[in-house]
Structure 1
Amino acid sequence: MDATHWHQRWENNEIGFHEGDVNRYLDQYFTNLNLQQGDTVFVPLCGKTHDIHYLLAQGMRVVGAELSEIAIKQLFDELKLEPEISQHGELLRYQGANLTVWVGDIFALTANELGTINAVYDRAALVALPKPMRIRYTQHLLELTNRAKQLVVVFEYQQSEFSGPPFSVVADELHQHYDAFYQLTLLCKEPLEGGLRGQVPAMNVAWLLS
């Protein structure tokens, strides 16, 4: 699983992972984050998710990180925002209104560049990364956001039945990553209608990390 894989997916418009509407768990559990208007939400590996539209509509400032510049060009087009684009080392920064997206390798992003984060919304990052990278990612996320509270949405399924992505992230693993830093609250666990890719039984699971 490398950067080339994701660049090719976006270049070929193979984006079945992109949801055509706001994620219902974000809509259902956003208030559990207890945020105020003007607070900043970090959305790692954001793509062009409609969840950013939702967060902006709630009065949030949104900061995203995304590997594919194609995705971010489309995101700003769909939001009808003209981005100000600037180069920062290895990363490009797209900025417009209350939205900033860092384009490039998330591991090249620093806490100083990211700024103060009030909450993290992770629907697409953990499940996009194979297990060894998830260890590195969760450690990096803690440093980037100064352990900001999180709303995390993952899949659980029998990993041997599907190679991923999206990958299965079970409760035990989430506790291993985060127990030392957060109280983990299970918000919801329910079957994924139709299964994963229409073939593998799976569960949708939403967590609050506070």
Structure 2
Amino acid sequence: MESQFWHERWQQGQIAFHQPEVEKFLGAHFERLGLARGATVFVPLCGKSLDMLWLVSQGYQVVGVELSPIACEAFFSENRIEAATPVTEGPFRVHRAKHQPITLYEGDFFQLSARQTGPLAAFYDRASLIALPPAMRERYAEHFQREMLAPSTSGLLLTVAYQSNTFPGPPFSIPSEEVHRLWGERFQLEQVGQGEEVVGPPTQRISTAKSAWLLTPKAGR
């Protein structure tokens, strides 16, 4: 999707993808990554997700990237988190909480690298991969693995799958075969959670098969 698509979604308040509560698969499975307290967790295309607050409550530092300034500002204001004045760092406007370990990079994910964020112990992708059409998913996974991840970085990935010729996405359907193709060379993949989720705008609601995947680095990489 082009950046203008997401800017317009936030401007028009068309954000059905935003969950008003913490993702249940996050609480159920994230601890299996075995991270130390204080470890940095990266949240791509983070929006104003409440999942970031849950990660902080578990003792982690959170770094997110989000295209929309509306989303970045809403995250801090709606959760009453005092933030420092945003600063410009390269192509990004950076929002940092004053009293919590939360940093949001406002800008294009494809311009971000670990050189800016620092080392990442893990990532949590609830709504990034499924927000992208096929060609962009290829680019996303390639950039992620080349520019963002250390050899020891692990992750929790959520996907949805459905059969529908009438629902255009996002979210886009991602079968397990594609998860293995995009991530299987670098990671050991374990499908740890399955459920059902209804997605889409009110006039196009569809039921999807939702999956949670643990991604742990393969030995020797």
TM range (shorter): over 0.9
Superposition pairs for residues 1-210 of structure 1, below 5 Å?
1-77=1-77, 78-96=79-97, 97-143=100-146, 144-147=148-151, 148-192=153-197, 195-197=198-200, 199-210=205-216
Q: Percent identity over the alignment?
A: 36
Cα offset for 1:50? 0.4
Cα offset for 1:153? 0.7
**Structure 1 residues without counterparts, runs of 5 or longer:** none
**Structure 2 residues without counterparts, runs of 5 or longer:** 217-221
2:150 is aligned with what amino acid? N
2:128 is aligned with what amino acid? A
Q: TM-score under structure 1 normalisation?
A: 0.95
Farther off after superposition, 197-206 or 99-108: 197-206
**Structure 1 residue ranges (4+ consecutive) displaced by more than 2 angstroms after TM superposition:** 195-201
Q: Provide the rounded CA distance (Å) in 1 between the counterparts of 2:119 and 2:196.
A: 35
RMSD value over aligned CA atoms? 1.3
1:80 is aligned with what amino acid? I
Cα offset for 1:75? 0.7
Q: Provide the rounded CA distance (Å) in 2 between the counterparts of 1:205 and 1:141.
A: 20
Q: TM-score under structure 2 normalisation?
A: 0.90
